[in-house]
Copies of this chain bind each other. A is one copy, B any other.
Amino acid sequence: MEKKTCSKKCSKDCTKKNVYFFGGGKADGDGSMKNLLGGKGANLAEMAGHPKLKIPVPAGFTITTDVCTAYYENAGKYPNGLREEVQKDLKKVEEVMGKKFDDSQNPLLVSVRSGARQSMPGMMETVLNVGLTTDTIKGVIQKSGSERFAYDAYRRLITMYSDVVMEKASGKEPVEGKGIRQQLEKLLSAKKEEKGVELDTELDAADLKDLCEKYKMKVKEVLGKDFPDDAYEQLWGGIGAVFSSWNGKRAISYRRIENIPGEWGTAVNVQAMVFGNMGDNSATGVAFTRNPGNGDNNFYGEYLINAQGEDVVAGTRTPAPINKNSQSEHNKHELMLSDFIPAVYEQLDEIQQRLENHYRDMQDLEFTIEDGKLFLLQTRVGKRNGPAAVKMAVDMLEEKLITAKEAVMRVKPSQLDELLHPIIDPSAEKTNKPLGKGLPAGPGGAIGRVVFDSASSVEWEKKGEDVILVREETNPEDVEGMRASRAILTTRGGMTSHAALVARGWGKCCVVGCGELEIDYKKKVAEIGGVSLAEGDWITLNGTKGLIFKGKLPMIDATKENKTLNAFLKICDSIRKMKIRTNADTPEDAKRARDFGAEGIGLFRTEHMFYGVGAEKPLFKLRKMILSDTTQARKVALEELFPYVKSDVKGTLEAMEGLPVTIRLLDPPLHEFVPHQKDQLEELAKSLDIEMSDLEKRVSLLKESNPMMGHRGVRLGVTYPEITEMQVRAILEATAELIGENKKVLPEIMIPVVGMEKEIENQKAIIEKVKAEVLKKYDLKKLPLMIGTMIEIPRAALTANKIAEETEFFSFGTNDLTQMSYGFSRDDMGSFLSPYLDKDILPRDPFQTLDTEGVGQLITVAIERGRATRPKLKIGICGEHGGDPDSISFCSKAGMDYVSCSPFRVPIARLATAQAVINEE
């Protein structure tokens, strides 16, 4: 029963046509017909048939995806007339290629390949060299002049065909390791052993001929059937095998993950084989229309004479450069294609220009020269690294090849990381197994020698050594050592631990919470994944992924080239709508972020000054404040603390002159600041004039079972109003003084951990009181000040209508919001995150990329209700997600006014916000 209507959504009338020819400057289809012809088929048709292209591709034809659908609907029966259509197009292929299928004189061999609407790399089957039989092999030997070539091709056909068609497609599930392919490979190994050689290429024609006989006997023995010696049987066997591989196990599970509907089906591409290994006038290669390593607008590629495509990739022979621009240290002595066959090179060069102009993007080409004749096997958008992507985008816009919006879409936000931090060479990373994994707390890569304490770090660094500080966890006393080190690695703590916060502030590579790592401080040695690391051993960290490697991996550093990046980011700025702010805690951070393009500070953490360099003094005073047990004593300590806070705030406001600065009131549970060392505790007891035992009692009273949900944020401000008061006074006096210096400053006070509107009422009363006092003190009529809140507690999101009555802005603290929504403690989820990701229970770490389905609901509800109460409510995000491109896209759709992220992610956010605008169009 033939299908009456087409189930695909292309515009063509294709209900009657099942097979689409391409080749010889003609094609039945074109590049727009991906749904019907699959990606590969449509692309081949485009190359072959588009009037401006007419690229020499090996001729062939595509059996449509509709046939695949019909095949499954009709229990493996093909539509009527399919055989005739295939026969007809095969004729055309013969004509174009000047060869004949199933011919003993001048035989045409074909490949049979899958090709779905969306690429499913490696998930379906391919059979090459179809059409080789005991009869046609004679013609191949004669035409190629090489018996070895012919039997090598035959051997490959038998292997692929018996595996793909005779075994897999027939539904035979071989025992693990007992598949026909493995059994044939054993014969090959045996033959090599017998001949005392190592490489397949060392086997001669006789060896291969003998192997082909043995292969066929083994096939018969294992599968109970003869390997077909009929070219047409091979062809139809191949076609059927590709169709049935659409419903193979791997393909089905891939589709499930990628959400590809089973009804789409695959097309089958039957294409004439061409051989780059047919002699010394043949070659094969890959090329890029621009340099994918740096973006330069030069034709770039490599090739091998008398070789097959897989040889270029395999690396057993060093490929030669196609032209001068492609020369490197490794290959500069090899013969360039432009010298080897200049005419073919020129043809190729002309073709690549046409392809890039046609596709309006850098193309990755595969070509084969068969006996002096050029064929293009594939063209596709070429992969490129970050710096190249940026340069190409900027160049192509300048060349008017693409629009500004297209330029913006040409760079993945994650690629910008490569321009902002040195990174490990990705190819080196592929071949090195990491020792272990922690949380990616500070992006980029770093190499250094292991040290286990801060003093050694400082000492070694002075001697000119690159060191990596490895600690169980860090605290403010480690800051000098952290600064001296290239990177920081800890065994405990999460993305908001001391180490993570400090490292991110500095843009330093950092991996935290690597639980597998065990440190023995006494012995100055650590163990991870069964490997022992002594002081002075080299390690390499990938802080973007949280990986730890042994030894020194090669690095790539593109952070110097910033002109192109700036040009690119300006393009982004011209398109984006959301503002970009930064999370910065010091005047230095603020300046750096401003250089990166930040338009304000979205999160200034007052407590952070106690983590940084030179923090000892204010930290000591903070500790005194925390451990005071009367309001009076606390007020005295707060007074001592006041000048530090004020000066920090003032410096930051000044650095951000003219831009808004959101200052969050004290957030973390107080116990976090209490020292652990005995000598420090003793100093504190002395300063507080109390017994050590009393101090210890106070310290233990501050301990909490679940500090994340404990006495923190606004709860501190409510129970100790004097703490809020001190902070507000510092902020407003700093503001008043800057106004006195004729500076435009825009402070915004943000109240954290709010769950109820009454908490804000309570704090606002304090703020208003202090404001009145400061106005009086500085004899001012008004002070610029906005008051807002973090939305990080689910209840706050749900009652945002009420919260908005009291606040002028919302800033989503998506770290905590994610913690509370999932009930996941970020510091503890290490124990189950991996299994959750492995078992596909979590699609990804919700602390990296916002969970739009669950947490996202709270965000949209809060925005909707908040704006219902206060239409002009300013809304942003200041959680880590503010620097994550996918999350930024959600924030944009949700209607936020700005995102705020760490300084080094500001460029990424500038790009992501621009892409969000384009994606929403």
Contacts and interface: CB of A to CB of B under 8 A. Distances in A.
A814 interface: no
Interface in A441-487: none
B854 A798 contact: yes
Interface in A396-410: none
A793 B823 contact: yes
A706 interface: yes
Contacts of A758: 839-842
Interface in A751-772: 753, 755-756, 758-759, 762
Interface string A568-601: 0000000000000000000000000000000000
Given A705-B707, A753-B823, A756-B841, 4 more contacts: A706-B825, A758-B840, A799-B854, A820-B820
Interface of A: 494, 515, 701, 704-711, 715, 718-719, 753, 755-756, 758-759, 762, 792-795, 798-799, 816, 819-825, 827-829, 831-832, 835-836, 839-842, 851, 853-855, 857-858
A643 B711 CA distance: 43
13 contacts: A494-B705, A704-B827, A707-B828, A708-B823, A709-B828, A718-B841, A753-B823, A756-B854, A758-B841, A794-B854, A795-B823, A795-B855, A816-B823
A192 B661 CA distance: 69
Contact of A515 (B701, B836, B840): B701
B825 A704 contact: yes
B794 A755 contact: no
Given A705-B828, A719-B832, A836-B718, A821 B820 contact: yes
B798 A718 contact: no
> Which are the 7 A-B pairs with shortest beta-carbon distances?
A706-B825, A709-B825, A795-B854, A710-B828, A705-B827, A704-B828, A758-B841
A835 B718 contact: yes
A820 B817 CA distance: 10
A794 B819 CA distance: 10
B827 A706 contact: yes
A743 B510 CA distance: 61
A472 to B, nearest CB: 11
A515 B698 CA distance: 12
A381 to B, nearest CB: 34
Contacts of A719: 831-832, 835
A829 B718 CA distance: 13
Contact of A706 (B706, B794, B840, B842): B706
A759 B841 contact: yes
A709 B851 contact: no
Given A823-B709, A823-B816, A798 B857 contact: yes
Contacts of A853: 799
A825 B753 CA distance: 13
A407 to B, nearest CB: 38
Contacts of A835: 718-719
Contacts of A839: 718, 758, 762
Contacts of A827: 704-706
Contacts of A799: 853-854
A753 B793 CA distance: 18
A710 B793 CA distance: 18
Contacts of A832: 711, 715, 718-719
A797 to B, nearest CB: 9
Nearest to A855: B795
Given A756-B841, A839-B718, A829 B710 contact: yes
A706 B828 CA distance: 7
Contact of A821 (B701, B705, B794): B794
A835 B759 CA distance: 11
Contacts of A795: 821-823, 851, 854-855
Contacts of A753: 823
A820 B794 contact: yes
A720 B758 CA distance: 43
A823 B794 CA distance: 8
B828 A711 contact: yes
A708 B819 CA distance: 11
Contacts of A825: 704-710
Nearest to A492: B705
A191 to B, nearest CB: 43
A817 to B, nearest CB: 9
A823 to B, nearest CB: 4
